[in-house]
Structure 1
Amino acid sequence: MSVSTGARALAIAVLLKGVRVMALDSSPSSTSGSPVTVGCITLDSFDYSGAKQVDISQSPTASACGSTCAEDRYGYSYLYDGGGQATYCFCSNDAPATGSIVEGDATDGSCEPGDFWVYQTSSPYSFDGCYTSLDPRIPLSKTTVSSPDACFTKCGAKQFAAFIPEAEGYSCACSSTKPGTGPAEFCAQHEIYAYRQDSSSSTSTTESGGNGLVLQRDLRPRASTAKRRQIYQENKRKRGAAVAHCPAPLTACAIPGHAEGFECIDTTAELESCGGCTAGVFGDSNTTVAGVDCSTLPGVRLGGTTCTSGLCEVTRCRKGWTLIDGACVRQRWGWKRTGGL
C-alpha cells in the first residue's frame, strides 16, 4: 500500500472511529458477476481491522465501491454515507455478521445515512427485493451458511437464491421459482433477501428433495414488522432531537442510567470519549461502545496523553514502560526508555 493510501486509511479511521485501519492482502472472490447489495450495518459494528480504504471520490456510490473492491479482488465492499457530508469506501473479505444487520431505508436494499451499505463485490445474482414470507407452495428443509457468498455458491444451479440473517447465521434458500411473497416495508434482520440470476446462467438440475427451497426457519416469536418499524422510527426521532441540540461537530452521547438524557461531546478532542461515545450514541439501540478513554490506556502517565482528531496520542509513559509506536509498552531488560519518568 502506498504512503498516500495509508494516510487516507488512517485519516478515515480517525474520522469515523478513532482506531487504525490495516490493509490486508486480498484474496480472490469466489464468484463472478457484478456487485450486489447484501445488507446494512451500523457504523459502530464495522470491523476496521480487516479492511482497506479505497478512493471512490470520482464516483461516490455503493456500486462504484463494490466494483473498485472487486478490482482489488476483495469479496465485500462497505460504503459509509455520511448523509451528503462524506462518503467512504472500505474493502474486506469478511461478510457482515448477521447480528449487525440493521433496517435499511427501503425494500430496495438502500441504507439509512450514517450506516454502512454492504455489497458482495461479484455475484451472478442480482437483488430482487426483501420479503416478509416464503411461498407456502415450496417445500422447506434446513441449512445454514456462513455468508451471502456461500449462499450464492450453494444456489448456483438455481435461478433464485435467498437468505435470512438470523442469530445462528444466514439461512439459505435455493429455488427455480420466485421464493418470496409479501414485499417487506424495509430490509432487516429476519426478513428474506431475495436474488435472481438470468435463466441461462442456471440449470434445470434439481437437488435432493426435488425442485424445493432449502431454508432454515426461525420459529421463535419476534416483533412484527410494524412494531419493529415503530421502534426504529422512535430511535430515529431521538437521534434527530439530539442532533438539534448538538450542533456539528458535537455528538449526542448517551448518559448511562438515563434513557432520555444525553450530553454534547466533541469526540475528536474529548480525552475521555476520544473517537466516539463511551456509552453509545443517544437514541441508537444498536450502538456499541466506540469511544476510548485515553487516560486509562495501559502505562500512560497522568497528563501524558491527548485526544487529537479522534485518536489518542501518547507522549509520556509511567516508570517501567517505554513509548513505542505511540503506545506505552511494559519495559523489559535492555530496553531504552524514550518517554516517561
Structure 2
Amino acid sequence: MLPLTFPLLVLLSALSYVRAAASNVFVGCVLATELPLFAVQPQRLLNGGLCNQRCYANGYTYSYFISGLVAGGSNCYCDNEGSYLAASAYVLPAGGVLGSDTGCLPILQATATDLRTTFTFSNCVGTLTGVTVNLVDGTILGGALVDSPGACFDRCKGNLAAYFIPIVPSVTSILPSYGCVCDPSGEGSGLLCGVGAFYKYNHDASASGQARRRLQEAMNVDTPRRKSFCPGQMEACNVPGVSDAWECVDSTSDLESCGGCTHGDYTEQGFNSTSTGIDCTAIPGVRLGGSTCTNGRCEIFSCKRKWTLIDGQCVRL
C-alpha cells in the first residue's frame, strides 16, 4: 500500500498548501514592536509564505511577518478576530522607497495578511464619495465602525468592493477602530496606505455571487432568532448608554432607526455596536421635522437655512 499511500499524502499536502496560500491578502504594514504585546504563536520562519501557511493551518485568521531579521527572535505571529491590533499600529508602508503599496520596511514593520477573505487588495485612496471621516472624534459618516479588516470584509461579503480605514481617535487609543464602507458611489485619487487612507478591496463577480448566497442563508437563519426578542416584524435594538437593554423598533417607519438599528442590534450574544440603520433626524442639513422614514428609507423634504434640497439630499449653499 505504501506506493499508493505516499503519493496520496503528498498530493493532499500540496492541496492543503494551495488552500492555505489561496487567500493571502495584504491588509497593511504595522509596527513590529506591537506584535509581542497581543499576537500569538511566535516563531522564526524563513519567509512570509511559510508564516501564512503555519497560521492558517493552526486555524488563525491573520498572520504577521517581519522581514530582514538576521539575528535571533521571532518574525512570525498569528492572530484572530476579536484580538486584532489597534489602528494606531498602522504606519505608512515603504511605498515611497520600494514603489509598492504592499512593501513594508524590514525589521521595523510587519506585513499583516488576512488568510481567509475572498476579497483581493487593489490600492489605497484618500477619499470616498459621500463618506466623511473624523479622525479626531473617531467617527465615520456614510460607513460603519468595525474592530478589524476582517469584520469589514464580513460586512461587505455580498458586495463587489470593500474599503476599510484605520481610525485613531487619539494618540492614547489602544482599542481597534476601523471605518468600513461597502460599494461607495465613487473614490478619490490614490494615496500611500496607512492611517487616514482607505484600503480598497475587490470581489470578482463569481465570488460576490457566492458571498451573497452565503449572506442570505445566514440572514435567513439569524433573522428569526434576532427578532425573537420583539413581537411581529419589530427588531430588538440596543439602548444607547444602557448595557444589556433593548427596545423594540419598527425599522420600516422609525425616524431615528430607519432601515435598522442605529446603535446596533441586540442579539442573543448581547451588545453589537455595528449600526444597521440611519437616524433620519441627524442627517446633515435636515430641518427639525423635515424628514420621515418610509419603507426603511429616509425621505427628506425640508432643509435648514443656507441648505437646499437637491435630489432628496440637503446640500450646503
TM tier relative to shorter chain: 0.3 to 0.5
Greater share of residues in helix: 2
